[in-house]
Amino acid sequence: MANRDQIVILTRKLPDSVETRMRELFNAELNQADTPLTPEELKQVVARAHVLVPTVTDRIDKDIIEAAGPQLKLIASFGTGVDHIDLKAARKAGIIVTNTPGVLTEDTADVVMSLILSVPRRLAEGDALVRSGKWNGWAPTGMLGHRINGKRLGIIGLGRIGQAVARRARGFGMSIHYHNRHPVHPEIEQELEATYWQDIDQMLSRMDIISLNCPYTPETHHLLSRARLSRMPSHAYLVNAARGGVVDETALTELLENGQIAGAGLDVYEQEPNITAALLKMPNVVLLPHIGSATIEGRLSMGDKVIINIRTFIDGHSPPDRVIDGMI
């Protein structure tokens, strides 16, 4: 039977089965139009919600949280990243924040690996050529790209997703290198045959492909700055399916235009959904619409985690996926 005492408000449309289960269990209000709420609308929502279910498109900043009524005690985010929520303001207001970790690891790693394959082998260019009607058939020098077997992959952020990417890349014959704040457990290093670089600058200058798999925090904002991007060899490729703000997109665009970086595969952008115009015209850049987690299975698993977090909280217990001090 639904708990009708506490109002649960969803900011976006979720899969039908997830919404139906929420209606069965809670006094849930849905967003059938799936139109992102404006900051003013979010303030109106948090003024009466007991539980808010936002997504990564909702900027839950200090102003939004300060507009919340005293009844709002849980923000159960539909997603893994929490950079869209002001965690300090939430903690000060006594609001618990939860996320949905772990369920998107394999999906995101699949997209990362697809970009690692697509950019050096020029798959998007090839698709465009065939569709244009200008392809004249196989030629000895037609659409030459680069093999990835034997190349060095530098992973920035060897967490769950980074490790899943490394396992896939090893299957394609790549050697694994990584940068973290601290080395991973020796058993993981041994399994992946991974080389740890404490100095990210040293690693960047030696890799053939760089994959960003770290969370977005104030510390990782523009982690790949102009200076660091400039350290990449001119034959190297950059893949980013983490967060757009980890890369200085303006600098990346200019380096790509000047041939100082060979190409890029991007699933996220610094001013999403806006994309630097020059990137749209570059044949050596593969652009995806933030689909790293976009599988039916992944979305349903995310919904299940949100429901468990809400139900556990309403039952008077600490939610299993509580985010503490920004740590996921």
Active site residues: 243, 272, 290
Separation CA 88–CA 326 (nearest Å): 8
Cβ-contact 24, 41 below 8 angstroms? no
What is the secondary structure of 221-264 as a DSSP string? TTSB-HHHHTTS-TT-EEEE-S-GGGB-HHHHHHHHHTTSS-EE
Separation CA 164–CA 320 (nearest Å): 23
Separation CA 239–CA 284 (nearest Å): 12
Separation CA 280–CA 261 (nearest Å): 16
Q: Which tokens is 27 given?
A: 């006094």
Torsions phi, psi of 119, nearest 5? -70, -55
* Residues 6+ positions from 242 with CB-CB distance below 8 Å: 157, 212, 213, 214, 215, 216, 268
